[in-house]
Structure 1
Amino acid sequence: MSEYQKIEYLIGKDGKITEKVIGGSGQACVSATSGVEAALGEVENRELLPEYYEDTVTESVEENQYQSQF
């Protein structure tokens, strides 16, 4: 089942577009915006929010807990 994500776009007076994924985590944040990014052109800068790393941290904790049981 896919999770709900909201993508917020801000367009500055200089034409610079800033996008923010709300309600997503991990690689889903990047893949949710890939189609629009491809249509708009080159991505100059990508700043990943803490939510991006949530899946990675959860997987690492679960893996460590599994290994410590044996």
Structure 2
Amino acid sequence: MKQTFTASVWQEGNWFVAQCLEIDIASQGETEAEALSNLEEALSLHFEPPVATITPQIKTIQVEMGVA
């Protein structure tokens, strides 16, 4: 199944950055085409179902929060 996403592409120094506007995923490349290709791969991996080699464990953690 194919899904269409929108990407914003810009240049930072020598690198091109491609960011998906619908999902908070970004990638980079030396060319605009490479950045977009890398973003496509990152999105594909994001939606790929996980394959655990061991049974996942659910843990809880506590984090000290500063009062502002």
TM-score normalised by length of structure 2: 0.29
Query: Higher relative contact order at CA 8 Å, sep ≥6: structure 1 or structure 2?
Result: 1
Please identify which structure carries the higher strand content: 2
Q: Choose 1 or 2 for highest CA Rg.
A: 2
Q: Higher helix fraction: Structure 1 or Structure 2?
A: 1
